[in-house]
Amino acid sequence: MTTPAPRTTLPRTFTRDLAPHDGQTVRLQGFVHARRDLGGVQFLVLRDVTGIAQCVGQNLTLPMPESSVEVIGTVKAHAKAPGGYEIQAQQVHVLSEAVQAPPVEIPKMEWNVNPETTLDYRYVTVRGLKERATLKVQAEIVAAFREHLIDEGFTEIYSPKIVSAGAEGGANLFELDYFGQRAYLAQSPQLYKQIMVGTFERVFEVAPVFRAEEHATSRHLNEYLSLDVELGFIESEEDVMDVETRLLSAIMTRLRARASAEFDLLGAAIPDVPQHIPRIELLEARRLVQERYGHAVGGKDLDPEGERLLSQHYAEQHGTDFVFVTKYPKAARPFYAYPEGDLTRGFDLLFRGIEITSGGQRIHEHAMLLQSLREYRIDPAQMEGYTEVFKHGMPPHGGFAIGAERLTAKLLGIANVRYARAFPRDRHRLLP
Amino acid sequence: MTTPAPRTTLPRTFTRDLAPHDGQTVRLQGFVHARRDLGGVQFLVLRDVTGIAQCVGQNLTLPMPESSVEVIGTVKAHAKAPGGYEIQAQQVHVLSEAVQAPPVEIPKMEWNVNPETTLDYRYVTVRGLKERATLKVQAEIVAAFREHLIDEGFTEIYSPKIVSAGAEGGANLFELDYFGQRAYLAQSPQLYKQIMVGTFERVFEVAPVFRAEEHATSRHLNEYLSLDVELGFIESEEDVMDVETRLLSAIMTRLRARASAEFDLLGAAIPDVPQHIPRIELLEARRLVQERYGHAVGGKDLDPEGERLLSQHYAEQHGTDFVFVTKYPKAARPFYAYPEGDLTRGFDLLFRGIEITSGGQRIHEHAMLLQSLREYRIDPAQMEGYTEVFKHGMPPHGGFAIGAERLTAKLLGIANVRYARAFPRDRHRLLP
């Protein structure tokens, strides 16, 4: 079994910080990343959150991979060791011994197993280098999102996830029993962020949302992290796109400063965000992909192939990964989208071929909202909890939402959004 | 109805920034906080997110309170006006007219209505000055929580809220149908934050948790915001309490810098966090309240009155609002608490008479965990999704969780935690 490490006054050193300790005795803590016993000499590669260190010694304990250990030894420059230093280990203390080998070799960059299997064992495969890098990038995206919006005068809100009705009228809702009442899991904080514009004018939220969508695609999750923004006293949806442009720029700046190593590990590039992201009206975008690529888009919207082609056009012709598609028709937008004839002030943001944001100006007047509900054939009585808000002088406002996993996946070249979430939920997956 | 405000190149000025514009024409935007028509002259008090401004003029439109408006006028020093300046208004444009008066007078500090009514109409009462201040303080608490932990090397995680089993064995879970499978709403991210210690060593999460508790108390919500922390490679729960002490200190520092006005408005004081928060073992604490106050605590824990008295003792004798109660017995802790004989390495943090945190060291070894499940008479088969994690060399670790609303309430002297959340959920309340 395991032996308690002796208490020591030696502070912990991280593997990335060996150079300043050259020649000194240090205490490392981490996981057994790899081990090799050459008879007279043992090698143990220790992994901590900052990197790895090669530890060499004699008569060393070499517990099973992923065991957690403490190594006490002397730092020595060694050209062939990772980072240019190795540890001449005097002691290896096992803090907690693994009792089963992981289903994949954690140190390897590629695992030759069914990807579903890596999700089944996510409670340990999440230690993989790519997995760690992906989730670290996600945390930095979210941190930049908050930090930038706070700098622009936004206030964070925390809206309920157990709700009495869906924000978009009832489809795709998970239902639950709430002390005998029927309740649902929020598919969006839409109503609440609009209400809170009345309090703070500019608000954001970072929280899970839930969509009971039956279909399995590479871009949908049944539970995902929604980065929501809403702001009041706007002139039009143009103001909202301006905020989103600055926000994306701030996110990329933070990623460059704090996650370059992760992008390098994953072979991905951090995009430049142009000062002005191009904006094209939907009808014009449909015409463009038809004329330029011969792709006729059905329906009222852009289909995934249309999104891909439009992005390709902007990448090739304008050198940018980003494009706003604006003026979506009512048929492709929820009832609360601000109307302009048959169109709305709704927009999508495409990034590298896929929509990563939906946003727009919202209806802020009570009478206009009731009119819209009639047009959408939604019973106003059912939406009273929503419409009452607009009796109280809501200012012109708009906002958008970014799916954190989808943005992470597209930034890192991850084909399926499930691998951009630590513990994904899909049609069949509730574990771990 | 409303008239569109003319587009103007005049940038928006906030009400707190009038002084530097003395004598200049400015454009304000906000809500009609109050209005008065003296016949020849009209007064309109405009409220924006930074404060209020008194606007005076002739033949001004004075729409219903809470309407959103834009005022164009000249800044003039005026000793009796709030902030020392008033606006000599040339134009009032109604951006969006309120069509119904709010159920309370938003500008008043005290509302003489049933508090339940203010919750019923939360979609507009949330504009109240006290409500805004409360929710602003909460946002600053959460921002400080994240900022400090990131500074200490923690990484944010996002765990699923739809889960297949409860973290604490099955009580108080909301159940839902997940595509034909039985699923639950997570009552805690406990398992997931422990797993992620294997990836990032130190992690935190800010997310809603759900407790299907039937009882209505002033300290419980059925959905609340949990501020969760977990860290690996600890020696004991002492390390966890050290992290929490520094964290609380950072929170109070940020509140002093960014929310002093809100504390003043609410008549509350930001507490000092001692460098070392006193720590007392539970058995000793029970003895103390018995001997000092004659209060005999039943059960194995501290009851609410015991918590109150113990806090009182530390406030009076040691001058601090904070005290850690340590070494809780197994009977008062979940199966994953690290055992020491009949006790555990679990602790609570009391603040001003109430527990605001539960934390401790966790079991990190597989065999010890199975033994604990047996002792707690929990079927290991039911907890396999949890126990499998511990086959993989989890390091010694521990953590804690802070209920954001409870901390907010205690800091601000709010007696019922429901008023420290924008849209509370209780036994009967699903709206708004």
CATH for A47: 2.40.50.140
Helix (H) or strand (E) holding B430: none
Yes or no, beta carbons of A199 and B126 under 8 Å apart:
yes
Asked whether the beta carbons of residue A98 and residue B391 sit closer than 8 angstroms, the reply is yes
Check residue A298 and give its pLDDT: 83
Average pLDDT, chain A: 94
- Is there a single domain that holds both residue A34 and residue A143? no
Q: Torsion angle, CA of B124/B129/B134/B139, rounded to 10 degrees?
A: 80
Q: Which residues contact B225 (CB under 8 A, 6 or more apart)?
A: A158, B142, B206, B207, B208, B209, B403, B404, B405, B421
- State whether residue A280 is helix, strand or coil: strand
Chain B nearest-CA distance from A427, in A, is 7
Which residue ranges in chain B fall short of pLDDT 70? 1-8, 166-170
Inside any domain, residue B432: no
| Residue B3 falls inside a structural domain | no
pLDDT at A2: 47
Same domain as B170, residue B41: no
- Residues in chain A with CB shorter than 8 Å from the CB of B196 are 126, 422
- Determine, for residues B162 and A200 on separate chains, whether the beta-carbon distance falls below 8 Å: no
Between A155, A162, A385, which is nearest B139 by CB? A155
**Tens digit of pLDDT for each residue in A161-192?**
999 986 665 679 999 999 999 999 999 999 99
Q: Write out pLDDT tens, residues B143-164.
A: 999 999 999 999 999 999 999 9
Residues in chain A within 8 Å Cβ distance of B2: 365
Distance from CA of B239 to the nearest CA of A (A): 13
Query: B96, B174, B202, B363: which to substitute to probe chain A, counting the most A Cβ within 10 Å?
Result: B96
> Taking CA atoms, what residue in A is nearest to B214?
A179
**Residue of chain A whose alpha carbon sits nearest to that of B432:** A385
Domain shared by A311 and A404, yes or no: yes
Q: What is the pLDDT of residue B1?
A: 40
- One domain for residues B73 and B219: no
Nearest to B98 among A196, A208, A391 (CB): A391
pLDDT at site B380: 87
Contacts of B421 in chain A (CB under 8 A): 158
Residue A379 has pLDDT above 90, yes or no: no
Q: Are A191 and A205 in contact (CB under 8 A)?
A: no
Which residues in chain B touch residue A163, judged by CB atoms under 8 angstroms apart? 430
Query: How close is the nearest chain B Cα to the Cα of A292, in Å?
Result: 37
In terms of domains, do B62 and B185 share one?
no
Cβ partners under 8 Å of residue A13, min gap 6: A21, A26, A27, A28
Per CB-CB distance under 8 Å, the chain B contacts of A68 are 232-233, 393-396
Residue A3 within any structural domain of the chain: no
* CB nearest B160 (choices: A178, A385, A425): A425
| Two structure tokens written together for A276 | 């002005």
Question: CATH number of the domain that B194 lies in?
Answer: 3.30.930.10
Contact B162 A394 (CB under 8 A): no
Count up the domains in chain A and report the number.
2
Are B333 and B342 in contact by the 8 Å Cβ rule? The answer is no
> Do the Cβ atoms of B395 and A178 come within 8 Å?
no
- For residue B71, the enclosing domain spans 15-96
One DSSP character per residue, A348-406 reads EEEETTEEEEEEEEE---HHHHHHHHHHTT--GGGGHHHHGGGGS-PPSEEEEEEEHHH
Which residues of chain A are within 8 Å of residue B146 when distances are taken between CB atoms? 143, 146
Q: Which of A68, A124, A392 sits opposite B66 (nearest CB)?
A: A392
Interface test with B, best of A384, A428, A430 (most B CBs within 10 A): A430
Ligand-binding site membership of A404 (annotated): yes
Output the six-digit token pair for A128.
């993989």
Strands (E), B234-387: 279-281, 322-326, 339-340, 343-344, 346-351, 354-362
Please give the share of chain A, as a percent, with pLDDT higher than 90.
89
Is A91 in the same domain as A129? no
Residue B267 lies in a domain: yes
Question: Which residue among B79, B96, B113 closes a domain?
Answer: B96
Residues of A in contact with B206 (CB under 8 A): 206
| Closest alpha carbon within chain B to A70 | B233
Q: Which positions in chain A touch B139 (Cβ < 8 Å)?
A: 155-157
Same domain, A204 and A290: yes
Same domain, A88 and A134: no
Question: Above 70 in pLDDT, residue A4?
Answer: no
Query: What tens digit of pLDDT does each residue of A187-232 get?
Result: 999 999 999 999 999 999 999 999 998 877 888 899 999 999 999 9
Least confident of A255-264, A296-305, B126-135: A296-305
Same domain, B292 and B351: yes
CB-based contact B126 A195, cutoff 8 Å: yes
Identify the DSSP state of B123: H
Contact A242, A254 (CB under 8 A): no
Q: Does A389 sit within 8 Å of B123, measured CB to CB?
A: yes
Taking CB atoms and an 8 Å cutoff, what residues of chain A touch B159? 422-423
**What is the rounded CA–CA span in Å between residue A324 and residue A351?**
9
The answer to whether the Cβ–Cβ distance between A223 and B161 falls below 8 Å is: yes
Q: Would strands A85-96 and A322-326 be described as parallel, antiparallel, or unpaired?
A: unpaired
Chain B residues with beta carbon closer than 8 angstroms to that of A126: 195-196, 198-199
- Whether A4 maps to a domain, the answer reads no
Q: Which residues in chain A are contacts of B381 at CB distance < 8 A?
A: none
Residue A52 has φ and ψ, to the nearest 5°, of -130, 160
Q: For A328-352, write each residue's pLDDT tens digit.
A: 999 999 999 999 999 999 999 999 9
Do both B83 and B149 map to the same domain?
no
DSSP per-residue letters across B42-106: EEEEEEETTEEEEEEESS---PPTT-EEEEEEEEEE-TTSGGGEEEEEEEEEEEE--SS--SS-T
Nearest CA in chain A to B33: A393
A287 annotated ligand-binding residue? no
If residue A105 lies in a helix (H) or strand (E), which one and from where to where?
none
Question: Is B21 annotated as a binding-site member?
Answer: no
Residues near B39 by Cβ (< 8 Å), separated by ≥ 6? none
- Residues A210 and A69 grouped into a single domain: no
Cross-chain CB nearest to B423 (options A159, A176, A210): A159
Single-letter amino acid code for the residue at A141: I
Cβ pair B158:A183 closer than 8 A = no
A86 is in an annotated binding site: no
A118-147: average pLDDT: 97
Do A371 and A411 lie in a common domain? yes
Residue B186's pLDDT is what? 96
Residue A1 confidence (pLDDT) above 50: no
Are the Cβ atoms of B99 and A150 closer than 8 angstroms?
A: no
pLDDT given for residue B386 in this prediction: 82
Of B59, B78, B96, the last residue of a domain is: B96
**Which range (A42-56, A161-175, A405-419, B172-186) has the least confidence?**
A161-175
Q: Which of B67, B191, B425 sits opposite A393 (nearest CB)?
A: B67
In a domain, A365, yes or no: yes
What is the SS3 string spanning B120-145? HCHHHHCCCHHHHHHHHHHHHHHHHH
Measured between CA atoms, the residue of chain B closest to residue A365 is B96
Q: CB–CB of B198 and A124 under 8 A?
A: yes
Q: How far is A290 from chain B (nearest CA, A)?
A: 37
Asked whether residue A274 is assigned to any structural domain, the reply reads: yes
Residue A316 assigned to a binding site: no
Whether B6 is covered by a domain: the verdict is no
- Whether omega for the bond prior to residue A4 falls within 30 degrees of 0, making it cis, is no
Contacts of B395 in chain A (CB under 8 A): 29, 31, 68, 95-96
Q: How far is B56 from chain A (nearest CA, A)?
A: 21
Confirm or deny that B213 is annotated as ligand binding. yes
A221 annotated to a ligand binding site: yes
